[in-house]
Amino acid sequence: MALDTDTVKRIARLARIHVDEADLGLLADELNNILVWVEQLDEVNTDGVEPMTSVVEMIQRLRVDVVTDGDIRNRVLANAPLSADGFFVVPKVIE
């Protein structure tokens, strides 16, 4: 897929980027080179290759999912300027 200057102009307008008319041809060439490179990557056989989260092999450290600070509603609400029935009271913002 080759991009012409009209397409580059439209992309720049959609991205809200000002591009001078003199630079449209150069930018079209650069974008076309990027698209050719992406097409080359699409030809690479990736069957059997697991997705990576980093280029460096890492082991994710997981913690035990245990509630350690539950059942302290009254202590939390003690910090609130206003509370009612176990909830924070906030001013109405929608009429």
* Helical axes 24-42 vs 5-14, angle rounded to 10°: 90
Output the average pLDDT for the chain.
Answer: 90
Region of residue 16 (phi > 0: left; psi between -120 and 50: alpha; otherwise: beta): left
How distant, in Å, are the alpha carbons of 20, 61, 76, 77 from that of 31? 16, 40, 55, 56
Q: Three-state SS for 65?
A: coil
Strands (E), the chain: 83-84, 87-88
Residue 19: per-residue pLDDT? 94
Task: Phi first, then psi: give them for residue 84, nearest 5 degrees.
Answer: -150, 130
pLDDT by residue (tens digit) across 45-78? Answer: 999 988 888 888 888 888 888 877 778 889 999 9
The pTM (predicted TM-score) of the whole model is: 0.50
pLDDT by residue (tens digit) across 1-47? Answer: 689 999 999 999 999 999 999 999 999 999 999 999 999 998 999 99
